[in-house]
Amino acid sequence: MNDQEVLDVVVPLTAAAETAAALAARLRLDADSTRPDPAVAAALDRTAALAAPAADLDDLDASTRDVVVGTVTSFLEQALELIQNPSRACGWVYTDPVVLQAQGRSSVRVADLIATVAPTLAGLTEALSQPDARILDVGSGVAALTIACCRTFPAASVVGLEPWEPAMALGRANVAAAGLDDRIELRDERVEDLVDGTVFDLAWLPALFIAPASLDAAVARVATSLRPGGWLILGRYAAPDDPLADALAELRTVRGGGTTLTDEQGIERLELAGLVDVHAVAGDWSLPVRFVAGRRSA
């Protein structure tokens, strides 16, 4: 492959990254109610109009803006770190508050997705509406999803497990700022060390942040912590039927120290832990994550 052939591959991909950055920047400016230099503002508006001609970005609510900006920021910051340090060992190493908060914002919509699929999971909607409802958020990070679960399921309290101290410090501050100290318990604890028994109605376990060597133990611990009839939802990065997007999802997962799974592999892991009604959850959404769910027998 000669120089021109390499450029023919790289330039369109670079344009895609710049497009995502421009859209996120446009949305961030809207959220901050600020404007850059007029020439930059005009260029951002033109780029946004060309990139998303059918979308009215001005009508997006604050939550959607945060998810988009957080997702783009987190992915691009991780991509830049990959270029700068491609030989480092796999694992979650990020300490920059910008990256950590952005990663958290990118996960917020998971609470909405769980609420959307909950009616298809026997008894879950009813259980989460009870005054003693409890949710487990494994890998709670900066507690963005933990907080979103409290707001999406107002009867529930949430336990978040997060052993990464830089994220935990931000999570505690975020919970306090949200006024949810009475409903959220954050623990500096690895999921493999979880000892709670039969207390949770719902557990969120993102395989994308759990190392392959730890995943079976994590699933077993979480399964044991469920109340009879409680549901474990296993999350994995997933992309549309596009080999390149699938390869990028795998790279992102492996680089961050997580486990790549197919639906079939996820189902096998949950069944080995003794869960029943295990299945891949049908869902038509743009967020690059998919669920496999299983229930503790009554």
Host domain of residue 14: 1-60
* Residues 113 and 24 placed together within one structural domain of the fold: no
Decide if pLDDT at 44 tops 70: yes
245, 247, 249, 251: CA torsion to nearest 10: -140
User: Is 86 a domain residue?
Assistant: no
For residue 4, the model assigns a pLDDT of 67
For residue 6, the model assigns a pLDDT of 62
User: Is 45 a domain residue?
Assistant: yes
Percent of the chain with pLDDT over 90: 59
User: Is 84 a domain residue?
Assistant: no
> pLDDT band at residue 245, thresholds of 50, 70 and 90?
confident
* Residues 34 and 139 placed together within one structural domain of the fold: no
For residue 3, the model assigns a pLDDT of 66
Q: How many CB atoms lie within 10 A of CB 239?
A: 17
CB 230 within 8 A of CB 276: no
* Residues 246 and 102 placed together within one structural domain of the fold: yes
For residue 220, the model assigns a pLDDT of 97
Tokens of 84: 């700068």
Give the helix ranges, DSSP H, for 226-290. Answer: 243-255, 263-272
* Residues 119 and 17 placed together within one structural domain of the fold: no
Which of 27-41, 161-175, 224-238 has the weakest average pLDDT? Answer: 27-41
CB 176 within 8 A of CB 201: no
Beta strands in the chain (DSSP E): 134-138, 157-161, 184-187, 200-206, 226-237, 276-280, 289-295
Q: Note the pLDDT tens digit of each residue in 45-81.
A: 888 888 877 667 777 777 788 888 888 888 898 899 9
Between 99 and 61, the more confident residue is 99
* Residues 166 and 21 placed together within one structural domain of the fold: no
Count of domains in the chain?
A: 2
Percent of the chain with pLDDT over 70: 96
Decide if pLDDT at 297 tops 80: yes
| Cα 267 from Cα 93, distance rounded (Å) | 29
Q: Which residue has the tokens 């503790």?
A: 296
For residue 165, the model assigns a pLDDT of 96
User: Is 135 a domain residue?
Assistant: yes
**pTM for this one?**
0.87
Q: What is the mean pLDDT of residues 209-217?
A: 94
User: Could you tell me if residue 4 is left (phi over 0), alpha (psi between -120 and 50 degrees) or otherwise beta?
Assistant: alpha
Between 234 and 61, the more confident residue is 234
Decide if pLDDT at 89 tops 90: no
| Cα 43 from Cα 252, distance rounded (Å) | 30
CATH number where 236 lies: 3.40.50.150
* Residues 22 and 133 placed together within one structural domain of the fold: no
Q: What is the mean pLDDT of residues 208-231?
A: 96
Q: Note the pLDDT tens digit of each residue in 19-42.
A: 888 888 888 887 777 778 889 888
Half-sphere exposure of 81 (CA within 13 A, CB side): 20
What contacts 270, CB < 8 A, 6 or more positions away?
A: 219, 223, 232, 234, 278, 292, 293, 294
User: Is 140 a domain residue?
Assistant: yes
Decide if pLDDT at 177 tops 80: yes
Q: Note the pLDDT tens digit of each residue in 125-148.
A: 999 999 999 999 999 999 999 999
For residue 125, the model assigns a pLDDT of 97
* Residues 52 and 193 placed together within one structural domain of the fold: no
* Residues 20 and 133 placed together within one structural domain of the fold: no
For residue 96, the model assigns a pLDDT of 92
* Residues 56 and 106 placed together within one structural domain of the fold: no
User: Is 231 a domain residue?
Assistant: yes
User: Is 252 a domain residue?
Assistant: yes
Q: What is the mean pLDDT of residues 232-243?
A: 84
- DSSP code of residue 22: H
User: Is 194 a domain residue?
Assistant: yes
* Residues 287 and 164 placed together within one structural domain of the fold: yes
